Amino acid sequence: MSIYQRVIAACTGLVLLAIVSMTYLSYQKGSDLVSDSVRERLNAIATHQQGKIAEVIRAWQDRVALIASRTQLRISLQRYGISAQQSDQDRMAAILADAQQSVRAVRSIQVSTLDGRVVASAGEPIQTIARMIEFSSRDNSPGLINLASDHTGHLFATLSQAMVIDGDVVGKVQVTLSADELLRTTADTTGLGQTGETLLTARNRQGEAYLLTPLRHRPEFYLQPLRELSSPFAASLDGRSNATLEATSDYRDTVTMVALRPLPTLDWQLAVKMDHAEILAPVSDFRTTVAMAAISLLIAAMLLGVLIARAIAGPVTRLAEESRRILGGEYDLRTTENPRAGREILDLSRAINELTDMLIHTNASLERRVAARTQELEQLNETLERRILEQVEARQLIDPHRGQADQS
């Protein structure tokens, strides 16, 4: 791999490593912060809804207690239980009619004797009951008897309270109230986004868990047994606990965060939940933004790597090419010493030029030495040739015949 490629790979790799590390740490920290924030919000909403529903129930009980506390109604009922006079019955009917008109959200009222016989009533009973859940009788008074809905989807609550005179129970009053206020309370999704909802559950007289109010994503499902929903989710709603479930699948098999609150006076359970996907949506958006930024930074890193690689590899490549030309015999060639190329490249250019000068000087010195040695050898050869000729001539003077023979 060339320096050019290595520099680009190094720049890209470093930026990619930094982005991945930063994204991972930011995502984890962001997820924790968002989850903590939503957890606090869910618990706050659950506590708020718990208080609102408790207020709704207390308002029902107060209305029933107000009707049952009417003195003339109790006296008339006591007298009727003794003498069964029609006048007492008519008086009770008039009092109930007035109460039904004056007390808010009252649908119908019935007064019965100790043996359960209805002796006076007012208002209109529910014509057609589509669904109903009956509750076990409790010691508290007024007590909730049932929740029912008609064919139009309106919800009604029926409560009863004993009517007492001087400590003696003379009968009881049974009041049916509009429970739409309860529906509005649980249908309030303020602060719960697009997926959050409030669920209200209770056990019927037989001890089976029921969902009391409609689901946000299945509005037709209410006053129905929880067993018809997914069993793990039904079990989590039937815990009667004050807790937060971090990750549990709901009736849509969607992972949710659930805050639970009990309503001890009625043995009801309140659940406020949101989808995990919506909870982590801001973090997911952040991750998408980081991914887009990462792509931009990677492109910038590659461009930066190209520029750095060109700044480094370009001068090195040029110096290598000029060095090859010098080695090829272009001894007059010198590398360009550019101060703007960087100190290292400038030092390298000067070193190559100095090396070239040294090489030329060495070659010139060597050539001079070779020429001098060649001249010495030529002079030595000439001397040897003269000596040989002189010896031959001397021999000829001494012995001409031998010299001729030697020459032949």
Note whether residue 28 is domain-resident. Answer: no
Note whether residue 302 is domain-resident. Answer: yes
Note whether residue 66 is domain-resident. Answer: no
Note whether residue 185 is domain-resident. Answer: no
The number of residues in the chain equals: 408
Note whether residue 38 is domain-resident. Answer: no
Residues 6+ apart with CB under 8 A from 325: 333
DSSP-derived 3-state class of residue 219: coil
Report the C-alpha dihedral over residues 359, 361, 366, 371, rounded to 10 degrees: 140
Bridge partners (DSSP) of residue 178 are: 156
Alpha-carbon distance of 394 to 367, in angstroms, equals 40
The CA angle 45-51-54, to the nearest 5 degrees, is: 135
Burial 173-208 (b: 16+ CB within 10 A, else e): bbbbbbbebbbebbeebeebeebbbbbbbbbbeeee
Distances (CA, A) of 89 to 12, 158, 173: 94, 22, 14
- Provide the residue range defining the domain that includes 332: 284-378
Question: What long-range pairs does 337-342 form, CB within 8 A, spacing at least 24?
Answer: 341/315, 342/311, 342/315
Of 51, 49, 46, 53, the closest CA to residue 259 belongs to 46
Tokens of 160: 């009863």
Note whether residue 393 is domain-resident. Answer: no
Distances (CA, A) of 310 to 42, 170, 334, 340, 341: 57, 103, 22, 14, 11
Number of domains present in the structure of the chain:
1
This prediction's pTM: 0.67
288, 26 Cβ separation under 8 angstroms? no
Tokens of 266: 């009625």
Note whether residue 82 is domain-resident. Answer: no
Alpha-carbon distance of 205 to 92, in angstroms, equals 31
Bridge partners (DSSP) of residue 201 are: 211, 269
What is the chain's pLDDT, residue by residue, as a tens digit (408 residues)? 566 566 667 777 777 777 777 666 666 666 777 778 888 989 999 999 999 999 999 999 999 999 999 999 999 999 998 888 999 999 999 999 999 999 889 999 999 998 889 999 999 888 888 999 999 865 546 889 999 999 888 999 999 999 999 889 999 999 999 999 999 999 999 989 899 999 999 888 888 889 999 999 999 999 999 888 876 777 777 666 788 888 888 888 888 999 999 887 788 889 999 998 888 777 667 667 767 777 777 787 777 777 776 777 677 777 777 777 777 777 677 776 766 666 777 777 778 778 777 877 787 788 888 888 888 888 888 888 788 887 877 777 776 655 555 544
Note whether residue 334 is domain-resident. Answer: yes
